[in-house]
Amino acid sequence: LYSIILFCVFLWIPFVYFYYEEKEEDDGNTCSQVKTALKYTLGFITICAVLLLIGAFVPLDIPNKKNSTEWEKVKLLFEEFGSSHGLTALSFSISSLTVIGMLAAITYTAYGMSALPLNLIKGTTSASYERLENTEDIEEVEQHLLRIKSKCRDGRPLSSRDRRTLHQLEERLRTLRRRERHLESIEKSWWTKFCEAIRPLKIVWGVFFIIVALLFTVSLFLSNLDKALHSAGFDSGFIILGTNLTNPLNMLLPVLQRVSTEMVILIHKDALLF
């Protein structure tokens, strides 16, 4: 299972991602797309090999013998690696991925808890306003196209630079017109009208989530401060006996527990009466 995880993370997923990225950017043949994807995937394979080598040789607990030579130490490394069948290397690689995933989860959770309520309160740009901006962009591109095409009205051919610019502007114009149709369908959809109707409710939810985020922030700060001041220290893992600084979350959870218990009892009574 460890090997399958490493294969997917460092080989299969990067290769598929870069293959389709290359396919979207350039409509070339399949062989060139595969070569480019393999070239970028080689970097991930190198990282995987480095993690496996570190896990194979660094974390091992080797007995320190004063009379042993350097060759005997290296030989013991390979013997230990062979006896574990590479499990130590795989475990170290998976642990490294777990640490990276934990840091990513912490970062994006913190960002999400702050960005979600602010986005709910601030709202998003309406489809009608985006359509207005898109229409202005279309008019600007069309005027630029007319200026370039007017250069060849007397029969003179366009320069290579003008032809390249003309091709880019035509591509941009097609993209803007597709976006115009997409925004028009969004503006007429029932989901957009529903989101506009519940706009006040979004603001209320945004304020609520801000309060929840502040509650978690204050509670974590007070809990860590309590451990730093009153725990037995680093050797015990900052174990604390009892609570010296009460945080809001510890006060709120027992109240919510009583409320939920009473609601379950009432629902159960209503079900029995029914």
Measured CA to CA in angstroms, residue 255 lies from 106, 223, 249, 264 at distances of 28, 19, 10, 14
Q: Round to whole Å and give the CA distance between 152 and 115.
A: 52
Cβ neighbours, 10 Å, residue 41: 20
pLDDT, one tens digit per residue, over 62-75 is: 555 555 566 666 66
87-141 pLDDT tens trace: 777 888 888 889 999 999 989 988 988 898 998 888 877 778 888 888 888 899 8
Show Cβ contacts of residue 196 under 8 Å, excluding neighbours closer than 6 positions: 126
The residue count of the chain comes to: 274
CB of 250 within 8 A of CB of 240?
A: no
Look at the block and give the residue holding tokens 């009466």: 273
| SS3 category, 237 | coil
pTM above 0.85, yes or no: no
